[in-house]
């Protein structure tokens, strides 16, 4: 008799993620009858996800079992795979606080979940909870593989492999495959005709090669066509899903660097010192930088989920297209030994030569019954490595702060953030960090605010 895995979803109130990932799972024959454990601290959101996942299971012909938990360790017991997707402190109050207090000091942000002062604060709130998951996994499912979708991805993943090196884990994002689809769209080609090799750090990985198929076994780089399309104004094409978020920042960086970065323009604008500056509305207008994008997006997503859930409640069955997420591909490859290649965030163990050993890098990984097997890239172009290093500095110091309970490293991380340093003085950075740490006191480890 064929066996099926147990998949535990921590943060099942993250309704869009749980819906997309488990829909993908139910449509893989070897996983169709998987047993699902949904866990969240919010019973209302948990029940909403339960309703949707149950209908997705039935629609796919799944005969697996589904259970709901508010107790994390109970949900993890016996799991083969653990998917993690949550936001400590939520949109309100924590994300709102990160934006409002930074804005008070003149520090504008777009997303603030990966780097910068907002990303630092989110890491301080999040890492202790990820460690608790690792502790519970060690007790009740030590052989399970964790698939982590929680931002700030690099800092979170780094902190886990430092403190819990025995936990099998990979950090996952959709920026690599998502950007490839966007570039294909800009050139009016089929993204399935692309092949690429990409490497770097999460949200700042670059396509070292990206080619399109021109005949059987023959490929050519799309970089000349992309540059020509940008210069003649036919790319980037307008974003049909969000008119606030156009792709000019990334194309401008491509023109200067010679390589295309994987993360969106709204993200990338706040990882560098070039685009968001005090008293420079001309830059915001020229590059169409969507300030305060994440809070706006949260409000819209909450409203959209409310409307979607009403539809799902009334539906007899739910049929959804496959998503671009890697989770089901990884689970299937490990469970069946059917090899696949994904892009994952892993520890830099001789993978990228000119980035620091031990930092968190994003590289292609082979996945099969042996687990996640990262690919050695070697050296990447030095100017790309130098740009990444400015972000790695912040990641390293934030991770060190929480690993060693060193409050001073939090300030050092903020001081070295490229965007923050371009806007604020040292005294302003210290005052901003002080105010944020106090405002987030109830969401942070106690040692941070102990005098």
Contact 368, 338 (CB under 8 A): yes
If you write DSSP's letter for every residue of 324-337 in order, what string do you get?
A: S-SHHHHHHHHHH-
Catalytic (active site) residue 174:
yes
- Give φ, ψ of 421 to 5 degrees: -65, -30
Query: Is 203 known as a binding-site position?
Result: yes
Residue 117: CA count within 13 A, CB half-sphere: 33
**Helical ranges in 288-440 per DSSP H:** 293-314, 327-336, 382-404, 407-416, 418-423, 426-439
Look at the chain and count its residues: 451
**Do 345 and 172 meet the contact criterion of CB atoms below 8 Å apart?**
yes
Tell me which of 33, 65, 166, 174 is the catalytic residue.
Answer: 174
Non-local CB neighbours of 238 within 8 Å, separated by 6+ positions: 246
**How far is it between the farthest Cα atoms of the chain?**
67
Of the candidates 195, 205, 180, 143, the residue with the CA atom closest to the CA atom of residue 352: 205
Q: Is 173 annotated as a binding residue?
A: yes
Decide if 79 contacts 7 (C-beta within 8 A): yes
Annotated binding site for Mn(2+), which residues? Answer: 173, 203
Annotated binding site, which residues? Answer: 151, 173, 203
Active site residues: 174
Annotated binding site for substrate, which residues? Answer: 151
């Amino acid at each position: 008799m064929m066996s099926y895995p147990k998949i535990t979803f921590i943060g099942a109130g993250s309704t869009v993620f749980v819906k997309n990932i488990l829909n993908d799972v139910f449509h893989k024959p070897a996983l169709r009858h998987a047993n699902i454990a949904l866990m969240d601290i919010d019973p209302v959101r948990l029940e909403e996800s339960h309703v949707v996942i149950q209908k997705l299971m039935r629609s796919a012909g799944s005969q697996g079992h589904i259970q709901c938990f508010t107790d994390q360790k109970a949900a993890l017991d016996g799991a083969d795979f653990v998917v993690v997707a949550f936001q400590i402190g939520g949109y309100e109050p924590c994300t709102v606080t990160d934006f409002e207090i930074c804005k008070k000091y003149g520090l504008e942000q777009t997303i603030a979940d990966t780097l910068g002062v907002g990303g630092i604060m989110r890491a301080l709130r999040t890492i202790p909870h990820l460690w608790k998951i690792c502790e519970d996994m060690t007790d009740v499912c030590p052989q399970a593989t964790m698939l982590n979708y929680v931002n700030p991805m690099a800092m979170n993943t780094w902190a886990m492999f430092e403190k819990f090196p025995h936990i099998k884990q990979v950090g996952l994002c959709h920026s690599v495959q998502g950007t490839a689809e966007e570039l294909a769209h800009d050139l009016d080609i089929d993204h399935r005709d692309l092949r690429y090799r990409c490497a770097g750090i999460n949200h700042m990985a670059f396509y070292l090669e990206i080619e399109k198929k021109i005949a059987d076994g023959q490929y050519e780089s799309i970089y000349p066509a992309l540059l020509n399309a940008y210069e003649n104004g036919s790319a980037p094409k307008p974003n049909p899903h969000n008119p606030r978020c156009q792709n000019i920042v990334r194309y401008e960086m491509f023109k200067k660097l010679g390589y295309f970065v994987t993360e969106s323009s709204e993200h990338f604008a706040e990882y560098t010192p070039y685009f968001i500056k005090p008293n420079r509305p001309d830059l915001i207008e020229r590059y169409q930088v969507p300030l305060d994008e994440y809070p706006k997006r949260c409000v819209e997503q909450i409203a959209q989920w409310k409307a979607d859930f009403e539809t799902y409640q009334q539906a007899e069955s739910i049929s959804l297209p496959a998503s671009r997420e890697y989770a089901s591909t990884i689970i299937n490859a490990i469970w069946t030994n059917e090899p696949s290649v994904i892009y994952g965030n892993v520890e830099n163990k001789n993978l990228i030569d000119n980035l620091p050993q031990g930092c968190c890098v994003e590289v292609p990984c082979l996945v099969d019954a042996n687990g996640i097997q990262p690919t050695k890239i070697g050296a990447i172009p030095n100017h790309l490595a130098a740009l990444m290093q400015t972000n790695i500095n912040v990641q390293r110091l934030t991770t060190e702060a929480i690993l060693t309970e060193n409050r001073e490293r939090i300030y050092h991380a903020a001081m070295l953030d490229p965007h923050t340093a371009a806007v604020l003085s040292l005294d302003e950075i210290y005052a901003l960090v002080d105010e944020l740490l106090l405002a987030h006191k109830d969401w942070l480890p106690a040692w941070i605010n102990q005098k």
